[in-house]
Structure 1
Amino acid sequence: MKISRKVWLDSIGVGLFTLVYSVVMGSLSLWMGSAAFVAVSYFFGAGFPKDKIWNILVSFALGIAWGLIAFRLLQVPGMDELWPSAIMFGLLTFIVLFLQGTIMKFTIVPAWLIAWGTTMLIITNVPVHHWALFVGQLYGSMLLGIFLIGYASDYFNQIMARLLPAKDTSEEAPADSAEED
């Protein structure tokens, strides 16, 4: 089985910068590493759209805010029951899509919803004592995922492409000859 150069470089780059990311996260005592992986996975899955990075980052921030709003609404007595919570989540989702389709066209709905879901997953399973610190760490983890894993591995690939250029296979292929009569 022949493994392409792209697979090798992508695997090495992402693996290397995931290692670097893990060291940074551990050194800074940031415990939300999964948020970084969710963020960078979305970014890679969306095709690494560098031209949309600010749209994605704003959408992540809005998603975190939406998660905080939803969590706060769930603290209202009776809101955590099936129908009230289902209606609340339905309305909040409607608002996301409506805002994106009207006055906030710069946002990206999947990024917004992913950050909302990630926020909800964490805060419904881990007690939060310092909300500002929590939000900063969550958003910081998402940024680190995109920039330290995503962009750094992309730069690694660019450097490796310059240092180790791909072989030119056109010289190896036999030339068509018109001499065959």
Structure 2
Amino acid sequence: MKISKKVWFDSIGVGLCTLIYSLIMTGGGLWMGSAAFIAVSYFFGAGFPKDKIWNILISFALGIVWGLIAFRFLHVSFMSGLIGSSIMFGIMTFIVLFLQGTIMKFTIVPAWLIAWGTTMLILSNITIHSWGLFVFQLYLSMLLGIFVIGYASDRTIPLRVDTLNNKSVNP
């Protein structure tokens, strides 16, 4: 099996940048590495849109805020059950899409929803002792994922690789 230079360079570049990112995260005491991988995965999956980076970063920030709001609502007794939480999530999702379609056209819904889900996932598994520090670390992890793993590798990653003939295929 012949492996193309692009596969080698992409793999080595992203692998080295991930190594550097991991050293930064561990050395800085940041423990939310998964958030960085989710963020950079979205960035690569969206086709590495460098021209939309600020839109994505704003959408990630809004998603974190949305996660904090949803988490708070889930601690209200009538909203914590199946029906209440389903209605709350439905309304919040409607608001995201409505805002993006009207007054916040600069936002990117998938980035917003990914950050919202990531925030909710982390919040549901840990106890927060400092909310300000939590939000700072979460957003910083997402930023580092995009800039250290994504931008530093500075290669457009193929959206799908056909493993039979090693040709990049864009769906």
Partner of 1:79: 79
Provide the rounded CA distance (Å) in 2 between the counterparts of 1:94 and 1:6. Answer: 41
RMSD, matched Cα:
1.1
Provide the rounded CA distance (Å) in 1 between the counterparts of 2:82 and 2:125. Answer: 19
Q: Offset at 1:43? A: 0.1
What fraction of aligned residue pairs are identical, expressed as a percent? 77
Partner of 2:46: 46
Q: Offset at 1:2? A: 1.3
Q: Offset at 1:78? A: 2.1
Provide the rounded CA distance (Å) in 1 between the counterparts of 2:15 and 2:109. Answer: 28
Provide the rounded CA distance (Å) in 2 between the counterparts of 1:87 and 1:65. Answer: 19
Provide the rounded CA distance (Å) in 1 between the counterparts of 2:44 and 2:104. Answer: 23
Q: Offset at 1:110? A: 0.2
Q: Offset at 1:40? A: 0.2
Letter in 1 for 2:38: V
Q: Offset at 1:80? A: 0.7
Letter in 1 for 2:10: D
* Other structure's SS at 1:47 match: coil
In the TM superposition, 1:1-181 aligns within 5 A as: 1-154=1-154
Provide the rounded CA distance (Å) in 2 between the counterparts of 1:114 and 1:59. Answer: 9
* Other structure's SS at 1:31 match: coil
Provide the rounded CA distance (Å) in 1 between the counterparts of 2:131 and 2:6. Answer: 42
Letter in 2 for 1:24: I
Partner of 1:173: none
Provide the rounded CA distance (Å) in 1 between the counterparts of 2:51 and 2:101. Answer: 20
TM-score w.r.t. the length of structure 2 is: 0.90
Gaps of 5+ in 1: 158-181
TM-score w.r.t. the length of structure 1 is: 0.85
* Other structure's SS at 1:78 match: helix
Q: Offset at 1:143? A: 0.1
Q: Offset at 1:12? A: 0.2
Aligned length: 156
Deviations 1:96-119 (A, max 9, x none): 000000000000000000000000
Deviations 1:88-145 (A, max 9, x none): 0000000000000000000000000000000000001110010000000000000000
Moved over 6 A (4+): none
Letter in 2 for 1:143: L
Provide the rounded CA distance (Å) in 1 between the counterparts of 2:65 and 2:131. Answer: 11
Instruction: Name the larger-Rg structure.
Output: 1
Provide the rounded CA distance (Å) in 1 between the counterparts of 2:92 and 2:78. Answer: 17
